[in-house]
Chains A and B, each alone.
Chain A
């Protein structure tokens, strides 16, 4: 029953005996899944607001996109692979191919750690290139956005660790919950990948690329 139908009900009308259909009023989605979706909305808003701040600053002349360290491309590729690996883990778990799921989960974790290490190295690369002046708004926002994204990935790794542990121990009575945990990790990684792709595009777009957008928004 969808939300709008539910809030159109007239609860003051007489109640029928027995009240059949109790269960229609809940969705079958596990609470953890609902919580995760809500959390991802909150995270998306956070990055949306950072994007607004960044785009707002692009209207000013002094903002120059940071030079693009080649490592960032490699990092992005790592994160894509991590997401693919988790999707593989999810599919394997659904088919009860647990050894595949284990391999995929380990691969996803390793790739994510590689992504995070790569991000740190790319900061180092910027320092070496002499661009690392945080007072430059582009650099400041770059650090802020990559840092916030990295923190979220770190948080994801905690959930990944718990999930991997569950898969390893694989309590036969709790297999459904184990599968749900893998599903949730996969969703989290997918969304954080999309967020990163948007941020990646944003951070390395020249002022000119987004001129049309800035004009449309009335910022420029």
Chain B
């Protein structure tokens, strides 16, 4: 490798190119701030996403204060409440989960798992992060402008989003739309990098079907995001035009407080279509990386090859494709043609088939596995259970006839929090525990990790199981207070208080996680090079944590898939991907019988 200036670095060539140009940092600034190393960028993404995620967590506490103990906290006004739910939803879905899975795990894992030195375009990758950070700062700025952040609900439906009676209609909505546009621009830079790195920069021998499922998940989700985010961008820009220039793309003729506004002829439904054409693939932009990561975690910690690898890959791709033709199941109550509803209900239910296949395969991977019930495995098991629960309520809501009465109730809130909030977060946490030794070279405290898991997992159920019930009895979502509504039983008030207390406990329990991570970073035991005895390539780097360029002088050659566990005749219960057949250490007793060293799954 040779030292070059940033201007010389166009892209890192494919793996066949012997000498690859990377920009090696020469100062603290280029090593930790404006850094082109994907691993540092990953940590920058992760830190920023976590920080803004904590803001969203505090906002959820404030919401729960109001819902659990109405009229007890006078500082929470109805308009504040709307602002809290809007910012909470938008931050969690876009700025936390999307950024964390793709910008965080994508950056850290793609080059390491495919055997590349870095992303294909390291400079663009760096810019991607700084644009993302700018988007986050613009979003935060909306909290400090007159009127505060928008309170239009996270779906930003017009006409409400830009009417002057909606909280945050002055600067809040403008800054949020600008922030979203910036986020999309930044993501596009990063996303192109992820896709090209997977397609063109894999090391020799790393065929597509030897890639770990984590990479398949991140890759497919990135393609989805690249195709879906333009819809949100178009919607955001058109809404900005409506708000700033007085166009009527989404604004119908409307009378507000007795005054006829100058808008007319626009279509609010058009915005809904654009939003959900992005919004539903967004669910899978979050879910697919989670599927991939959990597959790898289960395989490593159950010491078994992933069951049905090919079908798992195909299922990821099929789910990704189907996610583009289900968006209108979010719009059953928008007055759409019933035949449209039938079509979208059908496609929604079809998507359950490849998804269920994945759940079966995870379960069959565990079957007769040598399960190590450590923290990453606990989180993985928690994910499977939670995803099944959330998925089943999704089957309810996918049917028009059931969705209509449940629409806009707390049942929907409980459903999507289980499937898109709790389940992916369990994977994020499990993944951080799993790759923490690689990222820091240290081991975390296992006991603290297990406490963290049980409080988070059980606490999440204490929050969302009752929430399904209160939604089922008709409590609407987005309401500041339900007061003495006749059809809502009094017990709902007690349940709301209970849910709120559980929310505070689960939120506070995350301190265990941060304390564990921080303490272990400074005082943890050394992890060694491959503490989980994993077969995938990221654990086979010459240095832990991996240095810039990942692989030293030579790129690894890959001879097998990432799931060679329990290879007959081998000395160890795993064979890393870069070990040639002739170099596989054989067990002493069985060495005579199986000298070929061939792997059988």
Contact = CB atoms under 8 A, between A and B. Distances in A.
Given A11-B207, A23-B16, A62-B265, A38 B309 contact: no
Given A26-B16, A32-B11, A49 B200 contact: no
Given A31-B11, A135-B247, A11 B561 contact: yes
A17 B560 CA distance: 11
Contact of B208 (A6, A53, A56): A6
B199 A27 contact: yes
Contacts of A131: none
Nearest to A48: B230
**In which size bucket is the chain B interface?**
35 or more
A16 B210 CA distance: 14
Contacts of A3: 208
B364 interface: no
Contact of A49 (B210, B226, B231, B601): B231
B204 A23 contact: yes
A7 B313 contact: yes
A177 B582 CA distance: 40
Given A6-B207, A15-B598, A56 B267 contact: yes
Given A35-B192, A42-B188, A53-B238, A14 B598 contact: yes
B385 interface: no
Given A19-B559, A38-B192, A45-B230, A12 B204 contact: no
Contacts of B512: none
Contacts of B561: 11-12
Interface in A15-68: 15-17, 19, 22-23, 25-27, 29-32, 34-35, 38-39, 41-42, 45-46, 49-50, 53, 56-57, 60, 62-63
B493 interface: no
A11 B209 contact: yes
A141 B245 CA distance: 12
B438 interface: no
A134 interface: yes
A67 B22 CA distance: 53
A63 to B, nearest CB: 8
A161 to B, nearest CB: 14
B192 A25 contact: no
A10 interface: yes
B246 A134 contact: yes
Nearest to A144: B241
Nearest to A12: B601
A9 interface: yes
Contacts of B415: none
A218 B601 CA distance: 52
B262 A35 contact: no
Interface in B1-53: 10-16
Contact of B226 (A38, A134, A148): A38
A41 B227 contact: yes
A137 interface: yes
Contacts of A41: 226-227
Contacts of B310: 7-8, 10
A113 B333 CA distance: 48
A148 B240 CA distance: 14
B230 A137 contact: no
Contacts of A144: 237-238, 241
A135 B248 contact: yes
A8 B317 CA distance: 13
A11 B265 contact: no
Interface in B216-258: 226-227, 229-231, 233-234, 237-238, 241, 245-249
13 contacts: A6-B207, A7-B208, A9-B208, A11-B561, A14-B596, A15-B581, A29-B200, A31-B11, A46-B233, A56-B267, A56-B270, A134-B241, A135-B246
**Which are the 6 A-B pairs with shortest beta-carbon distances?**
A12-B601, A14-B598, A140-B247, A11-B561, A22-B204, A46-B230
